[in-house]
């Protein structure tokens, strides 16, 4: 009887561990399907910048979803890590015209929005959230 209980217990443990591994494999497959998420602080300051980042960044290869937060200046990016890496995403944001927290500030980029030092001088029209 004890031997039967040990065998039954062993079989139950094997089944449980097998189920756990299957669940982990499914989670990993789902993560790959949905992509990875990174958050990058970006030097944009107005609704126009948010809109530009939200709409232009998803046009780049490997970028799945973008949400730029106007208050925190943090851009949440869902991407396919088999296509693009976070360093590439920084380059994409610079191509759009914004420096990021990871940008080389000595690198000249074509700024998407050119405001004066005081934040009020413009070379284009849009609303600000000052």
Q: What does the longest C-alpha to C-alpha distance in the chain come to?
A: 87
Number of domain units in the chain = 1
pLDDT tens digits, residue range 19-42? 454 444 444 433 456 799 999 999
The CATH number given to whatever domain includes residue 66 is 3.30.70.100
Q: What is the pTM of this model?
A: 0.64
- List all residues 6 or more positions away from 109 whose beta carbon is below 8 Å from its beta carbon: 94, 95, 97, 98, 99, 103
Segment 49-81, tens digit of pLDDT: 999 999 999 999 999 999 999 999 999 999 999
47 within a domain of the structure (yes/no): yes
- What range does the domain containing 86 cover? 33-96
Copy the structure tokens of residue 94: 């610079």
Question: Which of the four pLDDT bands, split at 50, 70 and 90, describes residue 115?
Answer: low
């Amino acid at each position: 009887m004890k031997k039967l209980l040990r065998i039954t217990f062993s079989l139950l443990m094997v089944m449980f561990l097998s189920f756990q591994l299957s669940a982990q494999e499914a989670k990993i497959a789902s993560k790959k399907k949905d992509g990875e998420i990174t958050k990058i602080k970006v030097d944009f300051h107005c609704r126009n910048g948010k809109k530009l980042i939200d709409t232009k960044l998803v046009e780049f290869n490997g970028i799945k979803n973008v949400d730029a937060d106007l208050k925190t200046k943090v851009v949440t990016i869902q991407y396919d890590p088999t296509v693009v890496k976070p360093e590439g995403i920084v380059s994409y944001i610079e191509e759009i015209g914004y420096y990021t927290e990871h940008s080389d500030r000595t690198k000249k980029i074509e700024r998407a929005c050119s405001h004066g030092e005081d934040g009020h001088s413009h070379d284009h029209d849009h609303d600000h959230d000052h």
